[in-house]
Chains A and B, each alone.
Chain A
Amino acid sequence: MSTPLSSMALVFVASFIGSFGGVFLKAGAHRLDKTNPLGVLRNWRLAAGVFAFLVSSVFFVMGLREGELSILYPMVSLGYLWTLVWSRIFFGEPLTRGKFAGLGLILFGIVLLGLGNR
């Protein structure tokens, strides 16, 4: 069984869109106000974050219909890599050696899980 390029492209897009889910949720989380709990309903950033996750899951499911999990599974976690970049750009979070090391290990572990699911 081989993995069609279209499946890889779909999963790639899913990981990209999904990474913005975290960005919007964080931006929305900063604007939560304990004195105004109903404000959460008017927090468009949180809504955008949830929407990004939903759209991403649609692309993910479409991508997973064909192809090998051992290739597609690790590709989903590319989202963690995008997130590292967005965290730096949008929230000024430092890129440290510990983060790269931790992320590298997690990606490697997911590759092994994908291979184990063959």
Chain B
Amino acid sequence: MPTVVVTDAKRRLSLYLVFACTVLGAGAQVLMKIGASSIDHPTLGAKLLSMIANPPLLAGYCLYGLSTILLVLALRHGQLSILYPVIALTYVWVSILSVVIFHERMTPLKIAGVAIIVIGVAVLGRSSKS
């Protein structure tokens, strides 16, 4: 494996890239949920067709593709053991978007869960400064 000099700036950039990756991933999940609700056809053929001619679903896949590219760019200079768990931030955005877009209920348990995940990510981010 080629040894590259990893500066603090690059390490920080990796974290920002994964951060953007989680935002895109959450957007993808929301779009896929919107798209999936219109796939309700009895036959397999009609089901496949409705999956292909389905703009929200396709947009969701595109966002997933984009977020994977960002993840790869982040992994070039960051530690996998730090960046991979940061993807858990996706849960946070999805929880918030579910309330805003689908009017799901935000319970105290969910708020606590979201807050603790954010603290966990912050702790991980700090540990990237060696």
The docked-state distance in angstroms from the alpha carbon of A96 to that of B85 is: 14
Give chain B's interface secondary structure class.
Answer: helix
Contact partners of A97 in chain B: CB under 8 A: 127
Beta-carbon contacts under 8 Å, A56-110 to B: 77, 79-80, 83-84, 86-88, 91, 93-99, 101-110
Let me know if A30 is at the binding interface, CB within 8 A: yes
Contact size class for B?
35 or more
Task: Indicate if the CB atoms of B120 and A106 lie closer than 8 Å.
Answer: yes
Contact partners of A99 in chain B: CB under 8 A: 81-82, 124, 127
Task: Indicate if the CB atoms of A106 and B85 lie closer than 8 Å.
Answer: yes
Task: Indicate if the CB atoms of A102 and B76 lie closer than 8 Å.
Answer: no
Task: Indicate if the CB atoms of B114 and A113 lie closer than 8 Å.
Answer: yes
The docked-state distance in angstroms from the alpha carbon of A101 to that of B112 is: 17
The docked-state distance in angstroms from the alpha carbon of A62 to that of B108 is: 29
